[in-house]
Structure 1
């Protein structure tokens, strides 16, 4: 799946997730889906584990729901 958001693009499948942040200095973040958490408030995508630790704010709940469906990961309420 490809998902565009205000900071760049998310590329996801059942096994891994890649985020390409656009801007002056392009940044690519990658993580296994086992290391991903989806958090509703704030609308946040986080990766933690296997030497990875980062987070990215998404634009809205719809994007979070799309990722949840694609990755099979439940959205957490904070």
Structure 2
């Protein structure tokens, strides 16, 4: 599944997520499904915590978080 948001594109499969930024095409964030956390209630935050590496991205809408949740099978906190 491909989700476009204001900062770029998010590619979601049932096993992983990849974030590509329009303004930084050489920068790619990737995480396994088990490392992803989703935060809704207006926050719209996609976060990955993999060992010593942690990153987060603010998305545009609650619908984007919901689509990611459905595809990855992750609950929204």
Q: Quick check: TM above 0.5?
A: yes
Partner of 2:71: 70
What TM-score do the two structures reach when normalised by structure 1?
0.90
- 1:33 is matched with 33
1:8 corresponds to: 8
Which runs of 5 or more residues in structure 1 are unaligned?
none
Provide the aligned length of Structure 1 versus Structure 2. Answer: 75
Residue segments in structure 2 that go unaligned for 5+ positions in a row: none
Aligned position for 1:43: 44
Poorly superposed stretches of 4+, deviation over 3 Å: none
CA apart distance, 1:49: 1.7
Give the Cα separation in 2 of the matches to 1:56 and 1:6.
11
1:9–1:20 Cα contact (<8 Å) kept:
yes
Distance 2:10 2:72 in 1: 12
- Give me the whole-angstrom Cα distance separating, in 1, the residues matched to 2:31 and 2:51: 9
Q: Report the equivalent of 1:21.
A: 21
Structure 1 vs Structure 2 CA RMSD: 1.0
- For residues 45 and 51 of structure 2, the distance between their equivalents in structure 1, rounded to whole angstroms, comes to 19
Partner of 1:75, secondary structure, is coil
